[in-house]
Amino acid sequence: QIVAVEDISLLSKIQLQYSIPDSAVTLLADGEFLCPGLVDCHIHAPQYVNLGLGLDKALLEWLDTYTFPLEEKYKDIDFATKVYNAVVNKTLNYGTTTACYFSTIHLESSLKLASIVKELGQRALVGKVNMNQNSPESLTETTTASVQDTESFIKSVLDLQSDLVQPIVTPRFAISCDMDLMKQLGALAKKYNTAIQTHIAENQSEIETVLEMFPEYQTYTEVYDGANLITNRTVLAHGIYLEDSELEILVSKGATIAHCPNSNTSLKSGECDVPRLLAAGISVGLGTDVSGGYSPSIIDAMRSAIAVSTHLNFKKGGTPLTYHEVFHLATIGGAKALSLDNRIGNFVVGKEFDALIVNMNSFKKIPDELSNYTNEELLQKFIFTGDDRNIRRVYVAGDVVKDAILA
């Protein structure tokens, strides 16, 4: 926990006050800065294997051709263990201290993801996916089994007794879940006071299909709201094509949006107008949306968010997102989107210490006489040119989970 935020000139006084030995003090080198850990509000852990594949296709064809055949393999717990170890390690290396994961429909492998997250020390919400219609036979659950497995999953994750790992109710999207299943999942989320995650308004064809399937509703958001899935702990991925009336529902219920700019571009889904969402009063975080997005890095998501916002500015006017704003989305914005802003997201006394030490001169590529940058300039360089090699140390809840300084 963060107990004080003080000027470096008071270091000796702080060491005396808290009995901190010199050996426990970390001093930043030239070109280094400390920042809050990055938050990935939407990532499909099982799709990590498919990074960079199928991006010549639109969403629904991509799901059928690449995603569903891969997700069928997660009935094999050994396969799941290898992939989930890889994705959690990779995201930690990229500075993702908190992730909101989709797994698959498979109970055992979903629990394995939760246990790996706990073991490796990442903070995460983990969801077992629900699908009972319009899916391959091997990925189609009965409603009863889907609900029972989800409740078992929630109980088992809670039994891990980890301050870092939480269960999250995860209907894939309205196309793959009927109203009965969605209502029962909404009831489970209420019973156990869990968060909820799903997709919304990502693709025009998707929206048309949803409205054909649920003709009693006028909008996509109303479908979820009718199932009691829109709450103050609901995070919705994408939200590109939300109508004004839908924004009003989300604001009134306190639901949030995970903006996934790389995926939205790669799958040719569209461009999300984030300033519009923010102006409406919706909390927004960033997501990599692996593997619709081809990078597991929230650093890339920050760059992509600026690019998408700039393109919208060319077409529609308005003010594009700045690097300050996307950094906010990647840290405290993401924490708010996941209802974790009372614990993480910035360096406020009393919050937990999720942090990165970033070195923008890791490889001595910049001559010393040219490297006298301010912290703000170092942050800007990190957002636009940084990657995992610049992240020297990663802390989650005060524990070091990656340490390239000592490696």
Domains of the chain, by residue range, sit at 38-337
181 pLDDT above the threshold of 80: yes
DSSP 3-state of 393:
strand
In the chain, what is the straight-line distance between the N-terminal and C-terminal CA atoms, in Å? 25
The residue type found at 347 is F
Both tokens of 276, joined, read: 């519009």
Q: Which helix (H) or strand (E) holds 4?
A: none
Query: What predicted TM-score, i.e. pTM, was given to this entire model?
Result: 0.97
Q: Which of 312, 289, 154, 183 is nearest to 235 (CA)?
A: 289
**CATH architecture under which domain 38-337 falls:** Alpha-Beta Barrel (3.20)
pLDDT at 405: 62
Q: Does residue 371 have a cis peptide bond before it, meaning omega lies within 30 degrees of 0?
A: no
Q: Which of 326, 366, 329, 365 is nearest to 345 (CA)?
A: 329
Percent of the chain with pLDDT strictly greater than 90: 94
| Helices 143-159 and 107-120: angle between axes, nearest 10 degrees | 20
Calpha distance 112→76 (Å, rounded): 11
pLDDT at 30: 86
Strand pairing partners for 12?
none
Sequence-ordered strand ranges (E) for 294-396: 355-359, 391-396
Label residue 361 by pLDDT band (50, 70, 90).
confident
Question: What mean pLDDT is predicted for residues 101-127?
Answer: 99
Mean pLDDT of the chain: 96
Per DSSP, the residues of 76-145 read SHHHHHHHHHHHHHHHHHTTEEEEEEE--S-HHHHHHHHHHHHHHT-EEEEE-EE--SSS-GGGPPPHHH
The residue type found at 80 is A
pLDDT at 404: 79
Label residue 365 by pLDDT band (50, 70, 90).
low
pLDDT at 364: 60
